[in-house]
């Protein structure tokens, strides 16, 4: 059956509230290596920038030892991968919207800067993977967001039309990716970013996915 539209999603802070599990992994590493732990709000503002960026904010002085960096990053990934869905939950209304979208022949895909394996594992454990035709992570291609190819290549893979595609995300990285790809951008409020919603260019602003199917009818 012909797909009428394609919707691309960021993952962390957009489809799933992953901050509690990211915080647990971060603070595990900080305790093990003797550094300061962080609160949930600190983690949320850094979650989309990778494990090392999150961790380095806890250091009073920059760590330049590459061996220590690798050890800490590995410890983070190992812990997080084993505890990836302890507290992570889909955003409110998300599952209902995904079900509606599939019933209405809308193609769904994920474009995240999370490692592909971790992204797929999380979606499977939350019983969400079945809704998506493709999941692109930070290591899927030789480029990632905000490079627009991270979005446009996925649209091509799923057989979509860029003129009938939108991007949904929660950060300036997602917004820049969408606008570079010339796609409408839906911003999720209170996302994983240090910027306010007024600082992030967007076409539509949402708090969750309740009633989202009605809000996007003009694009379909």
Query: Which of 10, 153, 170, 174 is an active site residue?
Result: 10
Beta strands in the chain (DSSP E): 5-9, 16-17, 89-90, 106-111, 134-136, 165-169, 185-188, 204-206
HSE, side-chain direction, 13 A CA sphere, residue 37:
10
Tell me if residue 153 is catalytic: no
Place of tokens 């009428």: 4
Torsion sign, CA atoms 51, 57, 58, 62: positive
Q: In 3D, which of 73, 70, 85 has the Cα closest to residue 11?
A: 85
Helix (H, G, I), strand (E, B) or coil at 30: helix
Helix/strand number for the chain, H first, E second: 9, 8
Active-site residues: which are they?
10
């Amino acid at each position: 059956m012909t797909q009428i539209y394609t919707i691309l999603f960021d993952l962390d802070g957009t489809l799933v509230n992953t901050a509690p599990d990211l915080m647990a992994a971060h603070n595990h590493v900080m305790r093990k290596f003797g550094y300061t732990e962080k609160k949930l709000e600190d983690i949320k503002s850094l979650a989309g920038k990778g494990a090392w960026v999150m961790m380095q904010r806890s250091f009073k002085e920059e760590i330049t030892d590459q061996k220590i960096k690798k050890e800490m990053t590995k410890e983070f990934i190992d812990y997080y991968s084993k505890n990836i869905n302890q507290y992570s939950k889909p955003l409110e209304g998300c599952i209902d919207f995904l079900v509606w979208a599939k019933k209405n022949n809308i193609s769904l895909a994920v474009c995240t800067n999370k490692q592909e394996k971790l992204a797929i594992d999380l979606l499977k454990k939350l019983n969400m993977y079945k809704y998506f035709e493709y999941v692109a992570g930070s290591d899927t291609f030789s480029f990632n967001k905000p490079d627009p190819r991270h979005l446009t290549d996925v649209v091509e893979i799923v057989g979509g039309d860029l003129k009938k595609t939108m991007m949904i995300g929660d950060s300036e990285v997602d917004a820049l990716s969408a606008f570079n790809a010339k796609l409408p951008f839906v911003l999720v409020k209170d996302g994983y970013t240090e910027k306010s919603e007024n600082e992030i260019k967007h076409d539509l602003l949402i708090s969750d996915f309740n009633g989202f199917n009605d809000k996007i009818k003009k694009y379909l």
